[in-house]
Amino acid sequence: MGSRYLNLVFAVSLLLQLLDLCRGNKVGVAYGKDADNLPSPDKVAQLVRKHNIQFLRIYDSDPKVLNAFKNTGIEFMVGVHNSDLPAFQSQSYADSWVKDSILPFYQATKITHITVGNEVTESSDNSANLVMPAMRNVVSALKKFNLQDRIKVSTPLSFGVLSNSFPPSDGTFKSSLAKLLNPLLDFLDENQSPFMVNLYPYFAAGDSSLEYVLFKPSSQAFDDPNTGLRYDNMFDAQLDAVHFAISNRNFRRLTMNVSDAQLDSVHFSLAGNKRSKNTKIIVTETGWPTKGSGKDRYASIENAQTYNTNLIRHVTDDDSGTSGVRYGLDTSGTPAMPGGELDVYIFSLFNENQKSGAEIEGNWGIFYPDMSTVYHLDFSGTISSGRSWCIASSEASKSALQNALDWACGPGKADCSALQSGGQCFEPDNLVSHASFAFNNYYQKHGLTDEACSFGGTGIVVYSDPSYGNCIYNVKSSDPNGRTWCVASKQASPTNLQNALDWACGPGKADCSSIQPNQQCFQPDTLVAHASFAFNKYYQKNGATDASCSFRGNAIKVDKDPSYGNCNYHCKIRKTEACKKTKVYEWDCWFLSNGLVPL
């Protein structure tokens, strides 16, 4: 019975993963500084841009680094050291830190995550007991500046938090860590923050086929006996083990002296609010050393280049020898999370000569401290399809920025409706944020030229999506035919989604026959899936305009076809203006007539 139930739970989880196809994968680099011979941050910024690295993780909030990367469009994950966790037990200290270390650089430097501590469960001090209060205080501080939706807070853990990882579907957290991990998972769910983990398949190379660990064809590839999923590399197997441990809140000991039926009860009684079904996972560190001694026989430049090159291919376009199309969709993601978003940070940017421990500890770098390459990696494929956005420069004067904003929303005819009070992009209510949204709307409509992002020198082009929460910065379609679709926003609440779905299939007159029982789009039978199909039907029927994909901020436009299996999301764009002036008002009127209050 246990195996059959696991298959059912997995199938439901898998179908949920198929829905969110509009997101892009990211490959970044961890920029450590445990060395006394590294180049200045300004030179590092030039190096990073030269090599098309778009995402960086740093382990502190060094103002010299954040200042050097202003207006580069490079996305940052900043950190709090374990040694600083005692200070962050104070809310006033956390408030001051956000005010002094984050606000002066945000938005010119795009800070998207704050990592509080690093591998606290491996620390010999009291870090594991201090990390949760510190994280809560940082989030509270961000809320005071309305940044909690733009900057997410988490803590990177080691793969050692699992007591079992084979097969992946039996991924199990150490029971001794339940007092830390249960509150952590609740916190991540509540704040829509990612679970962060450092994965190092390198350390399993001695017990596994080297080819299997390096993403090469290997006889060690296997099928998970519980799910039937095929694993042909160590990275996917480790990541999915973490995924299953999170999904099932699994803390059971494998040595428990109980019956199979009792084990099933323990394993699956964690349903409902004790499951973390949709927690995103970010791999905050992975990599391969280039030099070692003794038992580190696989530490070499050749193996490091092979692992990281194949990792980049695997994350960005899955060209690593995996088994092709899964379930009628593309093969991005992992076997248990097909089509899912996959963010990975390679450790590390430089070799670091002050790392303690074995020889390999200081030899994980892609570059030597003199900025010459240890080995070549191609990051060009990590830029999201060459897309670009236009945002306001934080160095522009307030008067120049206000004039540019007024022009964009006036004579420039940018659609600034989302910036009105109550609109999905009104918060944060500041000049730089509002100007950024307006500039980008104008830029996308006018050919993505440098002139279209000038605004008298107050606009800058970036290559990292500035969208946040329900505020979506439109981007020119990457579809060769310029097609777009409308799907449910992953940020929308179930109540708002249900109301929007009812309206689309009712007064909105969308053809919802395909999401009825036994029809081609009924499965997966979830609110997000059904709402996405209905929203797209309405959107295509009404001219594929921005207004026809609003649904009070509960929908977003995507330029990747969300069709799956036999469920086709049709794209029949008709040049009509019908909904621009009427449909949004119909939506509001229907809300009011049904005794509902638009949110």
Active site residues: 119, 285
Cα pseudo-dihedral 82, 87, 88, 93, rounded to 10: -140
Helix (H) or strand (E) run with residue 213 in it: helix 210-213
Residue 526 has a CB neighbour count (10 Å cut-off) of 14
Query: Which candidate, 2, 6, 5, places its Cα nearest to that of 263?
Result: 2
The residues with which 78 forms a beta bridge, in sequence order, are 114
What's the length of the chain? 599
Query: Which candidate, 16, 4, 2, places its Cα nearest to that of 336?
Result: 16
- Tokens, residue 445: 């409509």
Q: Where are the beta strands (DSSP E) in 457-523?
A: 459-462, 485-488
The 8-class DSSP code of residue 85 comes to T
Q: What are phi and psi of 471, to 5 degrees?
A: -90, 105
Residue 323 vs residues 205, 326, 338, 368: alpha-carbon distances, Å: 22, 8, 12, 36
Longest CA span, the chain: 75
The 8-class DSSP code of residue 14 comes to H
Coil, strand or helix at 50: helix
Measured distance CA(68)–CA(510) in Å, rounded: 50
Query: Which candidate, 521, 538, 540, 539, places its Cα nearest to that of 529?
Result: 521
Q: What are phi and psi of 262, to 5 degrees?
A: -65, -40
Q: Answer for the pair 200, 287: CB distance below 8 angstroms, yes or no.
A: yes
Coil, strand or helix at 562: coil
Coil, strand or helix at 231: strand
- Residues 6 or more apart whose CB falls under 8 angstroms from that of 40 comprise 64, 68
Coil, strand or helix at 471: strand
Measured distance CA(1)–CA(30) in Å, rounded: 44
Q: Where are the alpha helices (DSSP H) in 410-561?
A: 431-445, 494-505, 527-541
